[in-house]
Amino acid sequence: MLTYEQARRTVIEQVEKARGPRATVNISVWDALGLVLAEEIKTDREYPPFHRSTRDGYAVRAMEVSLGATLRCVAEIKAGDTVMLPLAPGTCVQIMTGAAVPDGADAVVMIEHTNRDGDSVRFERAAEPGQNIVPRGSEAKRGETMLSPGMHLGYAELALAAQVGATQLRCANKPHVAILSTGDEVVAIDHTPGAFQIRNSNSVSLAAEVRLAGGEPVLLGNAADRVDDLREKISRGLREDVLVLSGGVSMGKYDLVETVLKDLGAEFYFDAVAIRPGRPAVFGKCGDTFVFGLPGNPVSTMVTFELFVVPAIDLLSGAPARHLPLVEARLGAPLKEKQGLAHFLPARVEWRGITPEVKALPWQGSGDVAALARANCFLVVPADRGLVSAGDTVQILLRKDVI
Ligand code: AMP
Ligand code: MG
């Protein structure tokens, strides 16, 4: 049985091997959050485009400003003003943050370090050449590449695109991810479940996780635990880039997902991973579609999606697979788990001091969605560590959606 790291690597290798160039689409910078860029974005001019003052104060020649020096203020420059005249020797100009520093000036003295009397400005500190000025072109040259294909567009990347005038961005088409839950006991969320039925919450968590990862969910509802229904709905799912199934991959008599996939010609790269929850997770390929059979217990579905499906969506978007958001924390209360499987326990991390402290939450196992909704991370107990003491350093997998 693969470790979760090996299983992730398997997903990454297989998807990298198979992925071709992606179709692209032009998207407004307002709507491109979370998409993957498919073009180079270059600057349209130098940045900053002029020597920019970073302070409110006086533009001066540094060599004229020693402690106690006095200069005549001859003008005022606001941000946005057109600046033509050079600074004459023996003078200074009042300047605002974001304004262009006139030729001849090589420093800006903060207004806090000056005293003004009419036109006369007295300097309470000596000036250093270059102080409080960002030189023209120091952030970027004209024509320099600022954003590259394969980058995820977050808020800073979008701001940079906007800054250089790229209002339409060529982005990779989102991978389409079909979502199919399975189980005779599962009813649509707008139906009233019978006494022994449950609502299809997995399709909701999966659709949300697909969106967070940058994919486009394609909802296929639920298939009964019958070969004919599974076959029909799985076949429909195989039209998309990825098919994610929930349920039907355990050892039960009615766990038929693998059988049906095999009949449809799937090849499997793993069908179990040494984790709890999530051990029966299946990954394979059927035609051109990558298929994930995730166990149906809601927390298992969520954990295995984060571990295995997210990297596939990244790669199919033309981006590198992002690293798992694993960080270290100090364990707040001792833990004892069965060895041989890596455990992902719903937990809460708190930042009280410098080192985050994490505690596992009480839970009833992998069906306990309520416990996960109270959690902001998973506490990762490695397969070779049955006992973990309070104060030990452990890894946590952050829930990026709520943290
Ligand atoms: P399975 O992996 O098919 O054995 O399902 C395990 C358990 O997960 C089932 O007994 C249900 O309680 C739960 N489950 C399965 N499918 C769903 C679903 N779509 N939404 C919520 N819970 C589910
Ligand atoms: Mg089932």
| 257-268: pLDDT as tens digits | 999 999 999 999
Tell me what percent of the chain is helix, strand and coil, each rounded to the nearest 5.
20, 35, 45
Give the ligand whose atoms come closest to the C-alpha of residue 245: 1
pLDDT tens, position by position, 328-379: 999 999 999 999 999 999 999 999 888 899 999 999 999 999 999 999 999 9
CA of 226 to the centre of ligand 1 (A): 15
- For residue 235 and ligand 1, the question of a CB distance below 6 A is answered with no
pLDDT tens digit sequence for 179-188: 999 999 999 9
Report whether 241 contacts 233 (CB < 8 A): no
pLDDT at 386 over 90: no
Largest CA distance in the chain: 93
User: Per-residue pLDDT tens for 146-173?
Assistant: 999 999 999 999 999 999 999 999 999 9
- Cα pseudo-dihedral 274, 18, 312, 34, rounded to 10: 170
Best residue among 184, 186, 245, 253 to mutate for probing ligand 1, ranked by most atoms within 8 Å of CB: 186
Question: What pLDDT is attached to residue 160?
Answer: 98
Q: Which whole number is the average pLDDT over 38-43?
A: 98
pLDDT of residue 302: 98
Average pLDDT over residues 80-108: 97
Whether the Cβ atoms of residue 182 and residue 223 lie closer than 8 Å to each other: yes
User: Residue 382 has what pLDDT?
Assistant: 96
The residue among 325, 182, 155, 195 whose CA lies nearest residue 243 is 182
- Please answer whether residues 314 and 241 qualify as being in contact, where contact means their C-beta atoms are separated by less than 8 angstroms: no
Average pLDDT over residues 222-247: 98
pLDDT at 352: 84
pLDDT bucket at 175, cuts 50 / 70 / 90 = very high
Q: Closest residue (by CA) to atom 17 of ligand 1?
A: 296
* pLDDT at site 45: 98
- Ligand 1 centroid to 344 CA: how many Å? 18
d(CA 27, CA 321): 22
Span 247-257, average pLDDT: 95
- DSSP assignments along 183-227, one per residue: -TTEE-TTSPP-TT-EE-HHHHHHHHHHHHHT-EEEEEEEE-SSH
Distance in Å, CA 90 to ligand 2 centroid: 85
Mean pLDDT for the stretch of residues 290-301:
98
Atom in ligand 1 nearest the alpha carbon of residue 225 = 3
Residue 280 Cα: closest atom of ligand 1: 2
Verify whether ligand 1 is closer than 6 Å to residue 248 (CB atom): yes
Full-model pTM: 0.95
pLDDT (mean) for 313-328 = 97
Which pLDDT band, with edges at 50, 70 and 90, does 34 fall under?
A: very high
The stretch 246-257 carries a mean pLDDT of: 96
Q: Which residues surround ligand 2, an ion (CB under 5 A)?
A: 183, 247-248, 296
Contact (Cβ atoms closer than 8 angstroms) between residue 228 and residue 263: no
Q: Does residue 225 have a pLDDT over 90? A: yes
